[in-house]
A and B are shown apart, each in its own frame.
Chain A
Amino acid sequence: DIVMTQSPDSLAVSLGERATIRCKSSQSVLYSSDSKNYLAWYQQKPGQPPKLLIYWASTRESGVPDRFSGSGSGTDFTLTISSLQAEDVAVYYCQQYYSTPGWTFGQGTKVAIK
């Protein structure tokens, strides 16, 4: 199985500042035939199910604010919140869907307000 490792495990950012979360996969999730990175990002608030934010590494899900962006390719990916809002306090997970069956998630990154 592909192992997904996120960093940091937690971070505290001031309101309006940038938050950056990294996700590294143990092998490439870039599929050469379609040049797509099979990586998604989710947000989970306390007591709620995960919510899809980003898929294909950089495509924002409908309705997701544009302060959320995804980037990267191959094995190294980043989720950026350009201007942190209070409602963005949550745990964020990356997930690879390149190696299936065997969908795997990162361990999660907890984002708090400084």
Chain B
Amino acid sequence: EVQLVDSGGGLVQPGGSLRLSCAASGFTFSSYWMSWVRQAPGKGLEWVANIKQDGSEKYYVDSVKGRFTISRDNAKDSLYLQMNSLRADDTAVYYCARGIGVVTSYYFDHWGQGTRVTVSS
């Protein structure tokens, strides 16, 4: 059974940092693009970042470029999101998601349960 377990969220002050993790199991992690998608309170879904199977390609939504870094450790079947210079509008539930499709054109067939990030003083 495919499982994605998100962790690392919490309360952080503006300007602070957090590192989110996603532990994968039940599939060959190294064969899939992986993504982070977030959902602000009461709002819709927003793709944040993704990373190619071998980590050689990474993409970010404009609003997080230069502040967030996505990475993966295929030996540990884990995905990460390092978030720096956090702002109030980064407050959201962050989900890791597995991508499936054609090359970089993929939809998300499995999602983690989400981890909540609150940026507030």
A residues within 8 Å of B by Cβ? 31, 34, 38, 40, 42, 44, 48-52, 55, 61, 93, 95, 97-98, 100-108
B105 at the interface (CB under 8 A from A): yes
Q: Is the CB of A40 within 8 A of B107?
A: yes
Query: Given A93-B44, A100-B104, A101-B104, A49 and B50 touching (CB < 8 A)?
Result: no
The closest CB in chain B to the CB of A29 belongs to B105
Q: When A49-B114, A93-B45 are in contact, do A101 and B108 touch as well, CB less than 8 Å?
A: no
Contact of A38 among B50, B59, B60, B105 (CB under 8 A): B105
A105 to B50 CA separation, bound complex (whole angstroms)? 15
Residues of A close to B46: CB separation below 8 A: 105
Residues A100 and B112 in contact, CB atoms below 8 Å apart: no
Contact B44 A104 (CB under 8 A): no
In contact, A104 and B47 (Cβ under 8 angstroms): yes
User: How far, in Å, is B65 (CB) from chain A's closest CB?
Assistant: 11
A100 to B102, CA, bound (A): 11
Residues of A within 8 A of B107 (CB): 40, 52, 55, 95, 97
Once A93-B44, A103-B47, A105-B44 are accepted as A-B contacts, the answer to whether A98 and B114 lie under 8 Å apart by CB is no
Chain A nearest CB from B43 CB (Å) reads 8
Q: Does B69 contact A (CB under 8 A)?
A: no
A49 in contact with B113 (CB, 8 Å): yes
